Amino acid sequence: MANGDFIGHLDDDDMLHPEAIGNLMKEFRKNENLELVYSDYIKTDVYGNFISMQPGPDFSIENLPKLGFRHFCMYRKHAATSVGGFNEKLPHCSDGDLFMKLAIRGRCKRVPEYLYLYRSHTTNIGHRRPKCNVCNFSGVCNYYIIWKRICETLKSEKDGKKCYNNRALRVE
């Protein structure tokens, strides 16, 4: 269990910009109601060579289908525990599950800075996990449940136009 008041999620093979934590903490200090703050990221190969810039959309409930799970993000510990924290029963996507449980509450903000280096390679868990709609855990994974509910709401509001973003969430 984390001892501090904030939790930052960093995968073991990725890297942070030296000012990442400080820059996200500035946003928490500016707004005591924020529960989750995320940044844009740079995608690299396994060796750290540049692939692409990955800006995210500004936060809104309507943008959740485009967001998926965002790197780098930090949460207020009390907010994370109030929604049940990480679902340790999920073999993968526990980070996305927690992200969606907090994001649906709407107290989130994007910091439009590239503060995270995401290494993309064939052994990433995200590349090996099953697609969300066929995963055995989709019935208990809030990453999928909340994403699907938002998409269904947006589809009905926009005369059935498809809002799914297969890159944000792995679906067939």
Per-residue pLDDT tens over the stretch 41-89: 999 998 889 999 999 889 988 888 777 667 789 999 999 999 998 888 8
Q: Is 121 helix (H, G, I), strand (E, B) or coil?
A: coil
Q: Contact at 8 Å (CB) between 147 and 66?
A: no
pTM (predicted TM-score): 0.80
Q: Contact at 8 Å (CB) between 56 and 142?
A: no
Domain ranges of the chain: 6-157
For residue 34 the two structure tokens come to 């924020």
- Is the pLDDT assigned to residue 155 strictly greater than 60? yes
Distances (CA, A) of 25 to 5, 40, 141: 11, 15, 28
- Count of residues in the chain: 172
Distances (CA, A) of 19 to 9, 39, 42, 63: 15, 12, 15, 26
Q: Contact at 8 Å (CB) between 99 and 69?
A: yes
Is domain 6-157 in CATH 3.90.550.10, yes or no?
yes
pLDDT band at 158 (very low <50, low <70, confident <90, very high): low
Identify the bridge partners of residue 38 per DSSP, sorted by sequence position.
73, 110
